[in-house]
Amino acid sequence: MTISKAAYMERAITDKLMIHFGKTPDQASESEMVKTCALVIRDQMAISEVETRKKTLKNHKKQVHYLSLEFLMGRSLMKNAFNLGVLPQLKEALEHLGFNASDIFEAEPDAALGNGGLGRLAACYLEAMTTLEIPATGYSICYELGIFKQKIIDGYQVELPDNWREVGDAWLLPKPEEAEEVLFGGQVQQYWENGKARVVLEGATKVTAVPCDMIIAGYKTKHTNVLRLWDAKTAMPVDMSFYSRGEYVKAVEEQAMAESISKVLYPEDKHSEGKSLRLKQQYFFVSATIQSVVRKHLATYGTLDNFHEKNAIQINDTHPTLVIPELMRIFMDVHGMSWDKAWSITTKSVAYTNHTVMWEALERWSQTLIERRVPRIYQIICEIARRWQEKCEKFYNNDETKVRDLAILWDGEVRMANLCVAAGMAVNGVSGLHSEILKDDVFKYFYQMNPEKFQNVTNGIDHRRWLAEINPGLDALIQECTGSDKYLSHASELQKFDKFADDKSVQEKLAAIKLENKKSFAEYLYKEQGVVIDPNSLFDVQAKRLHEYKRQLLNVMHIIYLYQKLHDDPNLVIQPQTFLFGAKAAPGYDVAKRIIRLINSLAKAIENDPVCRDRLKVVFMENYRVSLAEHLMPAAELSEQISTAGKEASGTGNMKFMMNGALTIGTLDGANVEMHDLLGDENMFLFGLHADEVVSMKREGYNPQRIYSQDDRIRRILDQMRNGFGDGERFEGLYNRLLMGVGGSPADDFMLLADFDSYAEAHRRMAETYHDKALWNKISIHNIARSGLFAADRAIAQYADNIWHAEHKKI
């Protein structure tokens, strides 16, 4: 008798539950069930992982090492089951055991080891690298606490710790036998040995880095990859000597110092603060990673001469920059290589991706801090900087402004981005516009020296997760229309859906799917937050980190405008709309927190207002995160991508909304530009100044006060904001920021007032279009069908072809 796949799965689950928890299914809690299923799936992947490793060792392919301080993985159970092709049997087995499968998936905590776009991108890319069968490893820190959990209490954001590992540990395989030692502090000593200068570090503090591996499954492949997360532990033998010398407290102190390194993810995603612990995190993870990469390379090849031929190291933003001097250190101090040879191999191995042009986020570290924490690394940076400066002086004929701009060390600081561009074999931006800004502005003098280094790779998303897995209704419709599930491996197949744009029955099916998704989201929101929203209203969504440049405040201004309009004319007929906001603010970013408070005041005011409440609704969704986004995207109808042009490097939420059929209201910023190229004016609601107009308007002297005094609508909106909504909260600070400029930043730095009129006009066009259901659905089909460009598979194939020169499965 053959046993069905589901029965086999059920057996694996019951066995694991018994072995691991000593329980039968009727005794297991949901959390225990999540862990049990994770262990079962992990076992399956572990077998493939061993096979993959064997194969990679044998075929000597080039390996990719993706270094990122953030990987926003979210949940893995459904994802891995989907990719392994065992999702149907997992669901069936769970149901048969008396569980509701979707409750079990919902009970898995997010692995939220990231802040926002940069971290989620890294997670999508790991999936795509695996699906394309590139031998790749992600490296990061095994933070005990991920990004904080956000609670809204009395309208204010409150941060709570996110202890993801209690359940999330089930995905991790600790590998203590592959631990590395990382050294901090101490003194650099040089001496001569056999006619060669040797460098050693004396009196340094040792921290042990223990790898915890998370296996990544690809789609329709046995190839697996690993996300290696380093856990910081005290190096025990050293500590024992403290104990025996009676320095008990010192030993405990060292232990606390060491282990604090992997305690918590920094929740700031723009402002670089120069905190010592953050620097330690960076060096810890980079040093452990590179030691491990070099060790494995030597074990395979017995030489470092071909290191760059067999390894590509991608630096995700500047956070892993210290990988550059660390590689130099290992090549020279540990393996006796000359400077020139070490530099030649290093600069052929590393590549850098920039993710922001906001100057506050460009990392600069105090020279003194680096010198104190990692003295040998500091020496190497100084030497790199000296040689680089010589080169620049020669190239630019001692032009002082240019040489200063290009410097790696300046004014007591190390400029990480400059170090990355000087040393990297490639530098890339993450959308067409962003990459142009890097060449024309941020790194313009670098570009003139080495134009061939600069590239663009427009971001992409894992469309298997962000479409097929989270929106099964739409997945089924696409498969029905395109005739197969081929789009899952070849996202460009989505194009075949385009010709159904005018097909009435497809339009109606799409509308029905969207309505169902809106209803499920309404239920979800009610369960999570006790908020009721009407699935028949238009779902207008802005979900992303809270930043002034992303302009949640512009959205709020427009809602206040509608609110006032309804008060002026209570009989006005308007499309009922639900405005959904999801956003975490960095705990120290007061302005962002004030904007959250304002959204909540406005939400309350509208809810209590008999004139507005049936037509407008504002909801601040608590704790926006990957798993909430997975419920939200399929239900969204309008996607707000309204950053000041030139400021959003790419955006990836914009792609997720588009793929799920939402229409975009947005500026020509980041990847919205590519989106507009695909869709044309008629299929998105474009508004606002262009990036070059923002620059020239600022240069010529932008005057928001004039707009305030000349435009009645804007004056009324801002006055209302200043006075608040009668709940005792006033927003004078925000008002002043828009009109006076506060604390050194200019008035309305992000040009909200300049773009308001055009934004309101785009909203009018949008509402008119929404009225015409057939037209709206047609546009929605165009959006879905043309979103294939934004698949991570495409982006990864470009990295592999143009930057890493690594082989991959063709898409």
Tell me the catalytic residues. 355, 544-545, 550, 652, 656
For residues 484-520, b (16+ Cβ closer than 10 Å) or e, as one string? eeebbbebebbebbeebbeeeebbebbbebbeebbee
Determine which helix (DSSP H) or strand (DSSP E) holds 493, and give its type and residue range: none
How far, in Å, CA of 664 to CA of 641, rounded? 7
Q: In whole angstroms, give the CA distance from residue 130 to residue 224.
A: 6
Residue 650 binds ligand 26V, judged by CB under 6 A: yes
| Binding test (CB under 6 A) with ligand 26V, winner from 67, 118, 210, 419 | 118
| Structural tokens at position 701 | 């002297």
Determine if 49 is a binding residue for ligand 26V (CB under 6 A): no
Q: Smallest Cα–Cα separation from 522: which of 602, 613, 609, 631?
A: 631
Q: Which stretch binds ligand 26V (CB under 6 A): 105-113, 268-276, 415-423, 754-762?
A: 268-276
Calculate helix-pair angle for 77-84, 30-59, nearest 10 degrees.
Answer: 50
Binds ligand 26V by CB under 6 A, chosen from 99, 266, 776, 804: 266
3-class SS letters over 133-163: CCCEEEEEECCCECCCEEEEECCEEEEECCC
What are the tokens at 54? 């064997």
CB 636 to ligand 26V: min, Å: 18
Q: How far is the CB of 525 from ligand 26V (least distance, A)?
A: 26
Nearest approach, Cβ of residue 317 and ligand 26V (Å): 5
| Cα angle, residue 287 at apex, residues 284 and 291 outer, rounded to 5° | 140
Residue 180 carries which side chain, given as an amino acid letter?
Answer: E
**Shortest distance, position 548 Cβ to ligand 26V, whole Å:** 13
Q: Cα angle at 357 between 677 and 466, to 5 degrees?
A: 50
Q: Which is nearer to ligand 26V, 30 or 268 (CB)?
A: 268
Instruction: Name which position in 95, 159, 178, 268 contacts ligand 26V (CB under 6 A).
Output: 268
Segment lying near ligand 26V (by CB under 6 A), choices 7-15, 73-81, 353-361, 406-414: 353-361
Nearest Cα neighbor of 75 from 166, 164, 12 is 164
> Which of 25, 135, 460, 651 is the binder for ligand 26V (CB under 6 A)?
651
CA distances from 147 to 143, 164, 605 (A): 9, 10, 31
Gap between the terminal Cα atoms of the chain: 40
Q: Work out the angle at residue 393's Cα, subtended by the Cα atoms of residues 390 and 396, and round it to the nearest 5 degrees.
A: 145
Selected from 150, 225, 272, 627, the binder of ligand 26V by CB under 6 A is 272
Interface with ligand 26V, residue 269, by CB under 6 A? yes
C-alpha distances out from residue 492 to 472, 566, 580, 792, Å: 19, 45, 31, 12
Q: What Cα–Cα distance (Å) separates residue 104 from each residue in 39, 75, 111?
A: 14, 11, 16
Q: How far is the CB of 323 from ligand 26V (least distance, A)?
A: 17
If one asks whether residue 361 binds ligand 26V (CB under 6 A), the answer comes out as: yes
Instruction: Report in angstroms how near the CB of residue 64 gets to ligand 26V at its nearest.
Output: 17
Q: Look up residue 132 and give its two tokens.
A: 């394309």
Q: Does 137 bind ligand 26V (CB under 6 A)?
A: no
Stretch that binds ligand 26V, among 112-120, 136-144, 752-760, 774-782 (CB under 6 A): 112-120
Which regions of 498-576 does DSSP assign to beta strands (E)?
538-543
Q: How far apart are CA 113 and CA 164, in angstroms?
A: 9
Considering only 77, 81, 121, 235, the residue that binds ligand 26V (CB under 6 A) is 121
Identified binder of ligand 26V from the candidate list 131, 140, 208, 652, rule CB under 6 A: 652
User: How many CA atoms are closer than 13 Å to the CA of 377, on its beta-carbon side?
Assistant: 30
Q: Are 158 and 125 in contact (CB under 8 A)?
A: no
- How far, in Å, CA of 524 to CA of 520, rounded? 6
* Nearer CB in complex with ligand 26V: 266/759: 266
Q: Of the two residues 132 and 430, which places its CB atom closer to ligand 26V in the complex? A: 430
Nearer to ligand 26V, 272 or 577 (CB): 272
At what angle are helices 77-84 and 87-96 packed, to 10 degrees? 120
Query: Minimum CB separation from ligand 26V for residue 56, in Å?
Result: 28
Q: Nearest approach, Cβ of 281 to ligand 26V (angstroms)?
A: 10
- Shortest reach from residue 117's CB to ligand 26V, in Å: 3
Q: Is 117 an interacting residue with respect to ligand 26V (CB under 6 A)?
A: yes
Instruction: Give least dist CB 118 to ligand 26V, A.
Output: 3
Closer to ligand 26V by Cβ: residue 361 or 449: 361
Residue among 330, 319, 321 at smallest CA distance from 292: 330
**Which of these segments, 74-82, 116-124, 416-424, 742-750, binds ligand 26V (CB under 6 A)?**
116-124
Q: Which residue has the tokens 């991108």?
A: 121
- For residues 357 and 649, is the Cβ–Cβ distance under 8 A? yes
Size of the site for ligand 26V (CB under 6 A): 22
**Part of the chain binding ligand 26V (CB under 6 A), chosen from 286-294, 338-346, 398-406, 644-652:** 644-652
Please give the C-alpha separations between residue 498 and each of 478, 495, 678, 788, in angstroms, as whole numbers. 10, 5, 12, 11
Q: Tell me which residues in 314-333 interact with ligand 26V (CB under 6 A).
A: 317
Q: Per CB under 6 A, does 748 bind ligand 26V?
A: no
Which helix (H) or strand (E) segment is 671 a member of? none
667 interacts with ligand 26V by CB under 6 A:
no
Subset of residues 390 to 449 that bind ligand 26V, contact rule: CB under 6 A: 430
- Identify the CA nearest to 676 among candidates 789, 551, 548, 533: 789
* Min separation Cβ 549 and ligand 26V, Å: 9
Residue nearest to ligand 26V (CB): 117
Residue 459 within binding range of ligand 26V, rule CB under 6 A: yes
Task: Closer to ligand 26V by CB, 322 or 403: give it.
Answer: 322
Q: Is 251 helix (H, G, I), strand (E, B) or coil?
A: helix
CB 353 to ligand 26V: min, Å: 7
The binder of ligand 26V chosen from 76, 115, 157, 623 (CB under 6 A): 115
d(CA 152, CA 496): 44
Distance CA(574)–CA(767), nearest Å, equals 8
Amino acid at 804: W
Q: Which stretch binds ligand 26V (CB under 6 A): 10-18, 76-84, 588-596, 646-654?
A: 646-654
Rule CB under 6 A: choose which of 109, 320, 670, 704 binds ligand 26V.
Answer: 670
Q: Does position 649 bind ligand 26V by CB under 6 A?
A: yes
Please write down the long-range contacts of 338-343, taking CB distance under 8 Å and 24 or more positions apart: 339/383, 343/384
CB of 121 to ligand 26V, least distance (A): 4
Q: Which is nearer to ligand 26V, 16 or 355 (CB)?
A: 355
Instruction: Using CB under 6 A, list all residues that contact ligand 26V.
Output: 115-118, 121, 266, 268-270, 272, 317, 355-356, 361, 430, 459, 648-652, 670
